[in-house]
């Protein structure tokens, strides 16, 4: 190989640039053909689902799912009209997991739980779902935001109000203004001035931000993540690398997670006031995270306590007299071959929903104060 | 400091810039010494942890200088045995009661490769073959060379000094391009290829814990046996690509450690293409002396010669395997390596006797026979690797999962598969060789860019940590 200074110094770098662009385009194009994903649920409208709406969506790792919403915007084939006498109605409050995101209706946790509870309580059991996000600029703000969904849920005349909660719900709260305070205590702000104010640095920052944005929408990234995350170890390492998101497994809990728990308790107390007035008992089901389940299966990780968060939820629930449903042990003990989550996407799969549904059925059937057996 | 990592590349480039400043040989040696010590120290938890390493180096230096001053056979054997003992003692082989081992954490990374260099100097000095002088600076830089400290390649001292004494650096624009091209290839192999292969291999091993159907067991077994050699090759040869390329910036032509090993048509040939500097070292310092010692002074017949040759091969390649560690798995791995080459040698002798040399050569040149032998060599190596990466419990669970019939079926499928794949691979390599001889400047730029793109994607987008170099553990 002989390099000619005159032409090669222009041609070869240009060729390299063209190759780089070509590789990216080819990889992305290939991934778009191979990996089908449509996360947009067209029935979603601002903060709830449209009534009497049908949509189709698909998580890359899961099947295409038809999402049917009844006249109240609840993911159910049954009407949300007051239940017939004798039916035990459970109304859930929660985010995407509580609406069975990406899981066919017949395999959703509510379908599993309804079937099991009907058999054990000897009565018809039905579910309705109301969407509630854990968002606000402070604990009081979140509690305030939760008022409307709680009222809507209680308006459906439930026998039991079931709050479905994930660590992600609380983690996302960190993105709101309220939790910024706590996060900042862990990571001091970057110093300004000097190089950081230079145009090149700013350009670099913008470029990195652009790349991060593309990373979230690229189908190729999705495909390779799916490939890599088949290795549980690798996925867990990645999950733990986000110290804030997975921080609930490290003892003692960081201040930001304590703040999230305080927000949770404040919000739940506000919901309880309304539920008590309506004479409806409250149960809380904690849907675990994939990384948490994997950490629970690895006894070698002495630095992690995957049960810490659910333990704290249980304490709070006991203090207020709420029933607490903890499917985490069931998830941990499940055969490792079962894919309990859409790993890249993060939501539980049908297999995960089945475990969640079974746990709900077990606790509701076994807790007399919840009223299913009466 | 992980090799290869961005930090290591930056460290090497900074050292290369300082090394190539026009201040003469002493300057270059001092820069190299600083780089070597800094690199070694990057692994040390405390200065005290370096002391045993330093002691071993000092012991080796004294031994070599003693033998250069006073060369007798008995003294040489005494110092060879003492060097071997100190090495085994530091590596905690069971050569002494456990109470006599140092009971604090000390550095042993790269000690095996330092041992090979020191032992080569001791033996050569004892045999009068070390004709050049051995200043302490040269000795230290040779034995501690940061580019080849962790996992080789094992260079010979006379080559090292000859290269360091060269008047010019030989660095020009073309050299730099070639260095960049090979470093890229090496990082791509380690960062992308070996990562993906290891990932798939781990998945297959994890699947052993599942309740598998017969077909699944065979599929899993094939992945477990066939993927690991490919992973190890990508990992180790990628590392070698990086350090050999960077060596060019330090006037070093480190010896090649791999020469397309999977194109080998028999196991003996395989070991002359895989980890070449280790097998070459053992051939020089174990196989050849052993053959000399065992061969009778009078002719004793082809059968005895063949048996002696096979025995010498067995011992040599048993050591190639057993050298990796103190566990029974590594000992068995050594037995399988030694057994493989010994049986291969006896087969060659038998076939040559049965078909005649011409007939056997004709058979060996037959394309189909060659392809099957190539496949068999790969499958055998992959099978022996079970004892390299696995423990007895994992191997037992694999055996239980697949059973005898499944095992035989998996072997047949693996043989057919690898025969076909490697035949294609050899054809492709011939095509590439022809093209590369013609220049292929543009396609090489495109290939290197594609590799860089993949590295960038894995490092930046997926935040993938680089896999460890497997041989770092030895």
Output the pTM of the full model.
0.81
| Cβ pair B210:A337 closer than 8 A | yes
Q: Which residues of B touch A26 (CB under 8 A)?
A: none
Residue A270 confidence (pLDDT) above 80? yes
Cα distances from B299 to residues A4, A228, B89, B296, B309, in angstroms, run 62, 61, 41, 7, 14
Q: What is the DSSP code string of A4-65?
A: -HHHHHHHHHHHHHHHHHHHHHHHHHHHHHH---B---TTEETTEEPTT-EEEEE-TTS-EE
Q: What is the mean pLDDT of chain B?
A: 91
Least Cα distance to A39 among A61, A58, A66, A64 occurs for A58
**Residue A182: predicted pLDDT:** 47
Is residue A214 predicted with pLDDT exceeding 80? no
Residue A212 touches chain B, beta carbons under 8 Å: no
Task: Answer whether A23 sits within 8 Å of B210, measured CB to CB.
Answer: no
**Who among B442, B452, B464 is closest to A15 (CB)?**
B442
Rounded Cα distance, B62 and A98, in Å:
74
- State the average pLDDT over residues A318-342: 93
- Chosen from A231, A241, A294 to mutate, greatest number of chain B CBs within 10 A: A231
In three-state form (DSSP H/G/I as H, E/B as E, the rest C), the secondary structure along A231-273 is CHHHHHHHHHHCCCCCHHHCCCCCHHHHHHHHHHHHHHHHHHH
CB contact under 8 A, B203 and A231: yes
Could you say which residues from 72 to 101 on chain A have a Cβ atom under 8 Å away from some Cβ of chain B? none
The answer to whether A200 faces chain B, any CB pair under 8 Å, is: no
Taking the Cβ of residue B272 and every Cβ of chain A, the question of whether any pair is shorter than 8 Å is answered with: no
The pLDDT of B382-394, averaged and rounded, is: 95
B437–chain A nearest CA distance, Å: 8
Q: Which residues in chain A are contacts of B178 at CB distance < 8 A?
A: 1
| Contact indicator for B90, B52 with CB cutoff of 8 Å | yes
Q: CB distance A3–B174 less than 8 Å?
A: yes
Of A20, A228, A335, the CB nearest to B449: A20
Q: How far is A149 from chain B (nearest CA, A)?
A: 38
Q: What is the pLDDT of residues A29-51, one digit of tens each?
A: 999 998 999 988 999 988 889 99
> What's the whole-number mean pLDDT along residues B419-436?
89
* Tokens, residue A9: 């110094």
In chain A, whose CA is at the least distance from the CA of B173? A3
- pLDDT at B299 > cutoff 70: no
Q: Is A129 helix (H, G, I), strand (E, B) or coil?
A: strand
pLDDT of residue B343: 96
Given a contact cutoff of 8 angstroms between Cβ atoms, the answer to whether A150 and A274 are in contact is yes
Closest residue in A to B456 (Cα–Cα): A20
Give yes or no for A232 touching B (CB within 8 A).
Answer: yes
Which residues of chain B from 446 to 465 reach within 8 Å of chain A, CB to CB? 446, 448-450, 452-454, 457, 460-465
Cβ atoms B148, B254 nearer than 8 A: yes
Residue A22 has pLDDT above 50, yes or no: yes
Q: Which pLDDT score is estimated for A233?
A: 82
Looking at residue B261, its pLDDT comes to 96
More confident residue, A185 or B425: B425
Q: b/e map of A340-356 (b: 16 or more CB within 10 Å)?
A: bbbbbbbbbbbbbbbbb
pLDDT of B331 > 90? The answer is yes
CB A128 within 8 A of CB A72: yes
Percent of chain B's residues with pLDDT above 70:
97
The verdict on ipTM greater than 0.95 is no
Instruction: Determine contact: B412 vs chain A, CB below 8 A.
Output: no
- A276-289 average pLDDT score: 95
Name the token pair of A86: 């004798």
């Amino acid at each position: 190989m002989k390099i000619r200074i005159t032409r090669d110094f222009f041609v070869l770098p240009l060729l390299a640039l063209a190759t780089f662009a070509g590789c990216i385009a080819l990889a992305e194009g290939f991934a778009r053909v191979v990996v089908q994903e449509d996360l947009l649920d067209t029935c979603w409208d601002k903060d709830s689902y449209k009534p009497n709406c049908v949509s189709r969506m698909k998580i890359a790792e899961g099947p295409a799912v038809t999402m049917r919403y009844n006249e109240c915007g609840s993911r159910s084939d049954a009407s949300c009209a007051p239940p017939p006498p004798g039916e035990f109605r459970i109304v859930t409050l929660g985010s995407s997991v509580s609406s069975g995101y990406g899981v066919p209706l017949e395999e959703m946790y509510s379908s599993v739980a309804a079937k099991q509870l009907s058999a054990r309580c000897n009565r018809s059991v039905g579910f309705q779902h109301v969407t509630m996000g854990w968002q606000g600029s402070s604990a009081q703000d979140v509690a305030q935001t939760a008022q409307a969904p709680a009222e809507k849920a209680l308006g459906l005349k439930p026998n039991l109000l079931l709050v479905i909660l994930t660590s992600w719900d609380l983690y996302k709260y960190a993105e709101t203004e309220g939790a910024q305070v706590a996060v900042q205590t862990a990571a001091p702000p970057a110093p300004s001035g000097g190089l950081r104010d230079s145009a090149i640095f700013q350009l670099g920052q913008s470029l990195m931000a652009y790349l991060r944005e593309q990373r979230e929408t690229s189908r190729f990234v999705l495909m390779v993540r799916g490939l890599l995350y088949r290795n549980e170890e690798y996925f867990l390492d990645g999950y733990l690398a986000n110290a804030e998101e997975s921080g609930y497994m490290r003892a003692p809990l960081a201040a930001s997670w304590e703040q999230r728990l305080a927000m949770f308790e404040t919000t739940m107390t506000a919901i309880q006031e309304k539920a008590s007035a309506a004479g409806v008992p409250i149960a809380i089901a904690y849907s675990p995270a994939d990384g948490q389940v994997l950490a629970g299966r690895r006894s070698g990780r002495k630095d992690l306590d995957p049960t810490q968060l659910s333990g704290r939820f249980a304490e709070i629930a006991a203090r207020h007299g709420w029933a607490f449903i903890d499917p985490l042990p069931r998830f941990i003990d499940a055969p490792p071959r079962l894919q309990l989550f859409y790993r890249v996407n993060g939501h539980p799969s049908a297999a995960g929903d089945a475990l969640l549904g079974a746990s709900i059925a077990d606790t509701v059937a076994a807790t007399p104060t919840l009223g299913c057996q009466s | 400091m992980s090799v290869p990592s961005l930090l290591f590349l930056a460290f090497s480039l900074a050292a290369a810039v300082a090394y190539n400043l026009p201040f003469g040989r002493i300057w270059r040696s001092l820069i190299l010494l600083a780089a070597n010590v800094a690199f070694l120290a990057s692994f040390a938890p405390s200065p005290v942890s370096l002391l045993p390493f330093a002691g071993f180096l000092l012991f080796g230096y004294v031994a070599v200088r003693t033998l250069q001053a006073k060369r007798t056979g008995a003294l040489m054997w005494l110092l060879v045995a003492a060097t071997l003992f100190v090495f085994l003692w530091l590596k905690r082989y069971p050569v002494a009661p456990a109470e006599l081992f140092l009971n604090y954490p000390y550095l042993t990374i790269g000690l095996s490769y330092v041992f090979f260099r020191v032992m080569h100097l001791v033996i050569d000095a004892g045999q009068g073959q070390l004709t050049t002088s051995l200043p302490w600076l040269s000795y230290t830089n040779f034995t501690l060379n940061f580019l080849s400290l962790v996992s080789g390649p094992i260079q010979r001292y006379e080559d090292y000094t000859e290269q360091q004494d060269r008047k010019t650096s030989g660095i020009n624009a073309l050299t730099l391009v070639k260095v960049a091209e090979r470093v890229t290839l090496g990082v791509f192999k380690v960062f992308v290829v070996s990562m993906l292969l290891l990932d798939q291999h781990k998945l297959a091993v994890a699947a052993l814990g599942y309740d598998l159907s017969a077909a699944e067991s065979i599929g899993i077994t094939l992945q477990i046996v066939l993927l690991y050699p490919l992973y190890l090759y990508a990992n180790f040869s990628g590392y070698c690509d990086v350090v050999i390329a960077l060596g060019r910036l330090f006037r070093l032509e480190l010896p090649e450690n791999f020469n397309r090993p999977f194109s080998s048509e028999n196991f003996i040939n395989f070991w002359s293409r895989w980890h070449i500097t280790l097998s070459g070292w053992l051939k020089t310092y174990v196989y050849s002396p052993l053959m000399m010692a065992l061969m009778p002074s009078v002719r004793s017949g082809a059968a005895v010669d063949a048996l002696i040759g096979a025995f010498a091969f067995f011992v040599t390649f048993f050591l190639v395997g057993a050298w990796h560690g103190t566990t029974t798995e590594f000992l068995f791995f050594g037995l399988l390596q030694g057994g493989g080459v010994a049986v291969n040698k006896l087969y060659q002798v038998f076939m040559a006797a049965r078909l005649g040399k011409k007939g056997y050569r004709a058979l060996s040149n037959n394309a189909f026979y060659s392809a099957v032998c190539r496949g068999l060599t790969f499958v055998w190596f992959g099978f022996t690797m079970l004892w390299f990466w696995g423990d007895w419990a994992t191997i037992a669970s694999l055996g239980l999962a697949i059973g005898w019939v499944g095992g035989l079926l998996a072997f047949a499928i693996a043989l057919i598969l690898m025969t076909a794949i490697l035949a294609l691979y050899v054809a492709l390599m011939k095509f590439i060789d022809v093209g590369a001889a013609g220049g292929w400047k543009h396609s090489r730029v495109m290939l290197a860019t594609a590799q860089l793109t993949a590295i960038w994607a894995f490092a930046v987008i997926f935040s993938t940590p680089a896999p460890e170099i497997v041989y770092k553990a030895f």
